[in-house]
Structure 1
Amino acid sequence: MKNVKIGNLQVGPGNPLLLIAGPCVLEGYERSLKIGKQAKEIADKLGLSYVFKASFDKANRSSYKGFRGPGIEEGLEILHKIKDELNVPIISDIHTEEQVAPAAKVLDALQIPAFLCRQTDLLYTAAKSGLPVNVKKGQFLAPKDMQNVVDKLESAGNNNIMLTERGASFGYNNLVVDMRTFPIMRSFGYPVIFDATHSVQLPGGGGTCSAGNREYVEYLTRAAVGAGVDGLFMEVHDNPEEGLSDGPNMVKLDNLEAILKDAIAIHEITKKHF
């Protein structure tokens, strides 16, 4: 399996678990920095690799009135300041080919949202940037279908690829995580990440917004690490009830360390198999 380099970090077998964490969407510089600083302190304390994540634009809101973030220009300025302040790699979502070039000047990795994982031109343009590309598996795809995503990225000459599982649609407003997904996607030769917070989301479950069950994050995290992952994606917040996007499934920072300690203990047991 190939290791992927994000900034000065190595992701994959033989390396510490990667933690991608931050608020769902940028909530201004000060609040976002505060969240990132606390997440980094926890990751450093536990010996995890850390990448800060926050979206400058959430283009797939349930409602037109849903908070989308500051937009690409202001958002990238905030992300650049957080990157310099925390001295950590940064990742954020891109939604169009036009966003790739300006985002690539600031970000250390590009993320493709689940709903866009089959968009050939977006994948190809992102891969051509030369940055690592993390693609979230669509809720509508079987894990084996992500081989086609990998092929598209590789066709652009990019081998810095990560694949992220975030659950599959199961009836209305519900997602489930099939643990077979992790070994299947890892068989493609690239690191696999588990999105522990979007996997407990109830898409559209709030009518004009998504609902979620953050109380199940710890259980799915332990199971996923046991099934073999190279990193964890978690949206975190100091007060999720005040979160401007996806509050019901974000992890409260006060609970993050305990969840990660269990994940590390399980990873130490199972990593020899992966």
Structure 2
Amino acid sequence: MEKFSIGSLSLPDDNMPLFIAGPCLIESRAMALQTADELQRISREQGVHFIFKGSYRKANRTSGRSFTGIGDIEALEVLAEIRQDYGMPVITDVHETKEVALAARYVDVLQIPAFLCRQTELLVAAGESGLAVNIKKGQFMAPEDMALAAAKVVETGNKRVMLTERGSSFGYHNLVVDFRGLAKMAESGYPVLYDATHSLQLPAAGQGVSGGERQYVLPLARAAVAAGVNGLFFEIHPDPSKALSDAATQIPLADFSTMVKQLLHLYRCVHALHSL
């Protein structure tokens, strides 16, 4: 697997998993900075590397009445502030080709949402930005087909691509994770991440909002680490009960440090076994 950099981070790293973490949506500057403060503290304490995650706008809400953001420029400026003041790369998702040039001025990584992972023009535009691109696997996609999505980015000359598992549709209002898919995506030669919080959504199961089963986040994240992923993706929030999106699956900020510590220890054990 060919290594590449995102800011000061190198991926993949056999000694350290990449963590992408942050709120589902930039709800306010204060909330985002509070989250970044805690991630910086965990990074210093445990030596882990974070990419700060925050959607500057949500375009794929269940209901048209759902909160979608505080304003594009205002949210992107918060992300840029975190990148500058905390020395932490940042990632946000884009939904249309016209968003790419705007978002690319503020962030280090562009994310392709799962619903849009087959959108050729969007993938090409993201690749042409020159930024690293994280492609979420569609809930409807076979894992081996994600190599074709990645190829659309790579054909622009941009080889900095990551693939992220986030569960597959399992009937209505439910997702399931087939852990064979992590190994199948890894065969593509691109780093593979596991999205531990979105994988436990119950899509549109809550009367116009998505539900979720947050209590299973840690067991499934452990399973993903044991399966050999290169990184983990979490949505975290100071108070998930008050979150304006994905309230049922975001991890309480106060609990995240303990979770990271456990997963980091397991990651090192797994890679020690691989070296035997």
Question: Does TM, normalized by the shorter one, top 0.5?
Answer: yes
Question: Paired residues, what number?
Answer: 274
Q: Deviations over 1:213-265 (max 9, x none)?
A: 11110010000000011111100011100111101100111211222222112
Partners of 1:257 and 1:74 in 2: how far apart? Answer: 28
Which residue in 1 is equivalent to 2:211?
211
Q: How does 1:242-261 map to 2 (within 5 A)?
A: 242-261=242-261
Q: Distance in 2 between matches of 1:166 and 1:75?
A: 24
Taking the aligned partners of 1:162 and 1:206, their CA distance within structure 2 comes to 31
- Superposed CA deviations along residues 135-164 of structure 1, whole A, max 9, x for unmatched, are 000000110010111111111111000000
TM-score normalized by the length of structure 2? 0.96
Question: Hey, what does 2:202 align to over in structure 1?
Answer: 202
CA distance in 2, matches of 1:88, 1:147: 28
Is the 2:97–2:122 Cα contact (8 Å) retained in structure 1?
Answer: yes
Tell me the CA shift for residue 27 of structure 1.
Answer: 1.2
Does the aligned pair in 2 maintain the 1:3–1:190 contact within 8 Å? no
- CA shift for structure 1 position 72: 2.2
Other-structure match for 2:164:
164
What percentage of aligned pairs have identical amino acids?
46
Unaligned runs of 5+ in 1: none
Q: Deviations over 1:171-208 (max 9, x none)?
A: 11111111111111111111111100001111101120
**Match of 2:43?**
43
2: CA distance, partners of 1:187 / 1:86: 34
Deviations 1:52-97 (A, max 9, x none): 1100111000000111112322221121122222121110001111
Q: Secondary structure of the equivalent of 2:248?
A: helix
Match of 1:111 in 2: 111
Letter paired with 2:93: D
1:20 and 2:26 equivalent? no
Q: Which segment is superposed worse, 218-227 or 148-157?
A: 148-157
After superposition, what is the alpha-carbon deviation per residue over 1:11-54, rounded to whole angstroms, capped at 9, x for unaligned?
20434111111110001111111012112211332211111110
CA distance in 2, matches of 1:12, 1:181: 18
The CA distance in 2 between the partners of 1:164 and 1:9, in whole Å, is 18
The SS at the match of 1:249 is: coil
What is the alpha-carbon distance in structure 2 between the residues aligned to residue 203 and residue 26 of structure 1?
21
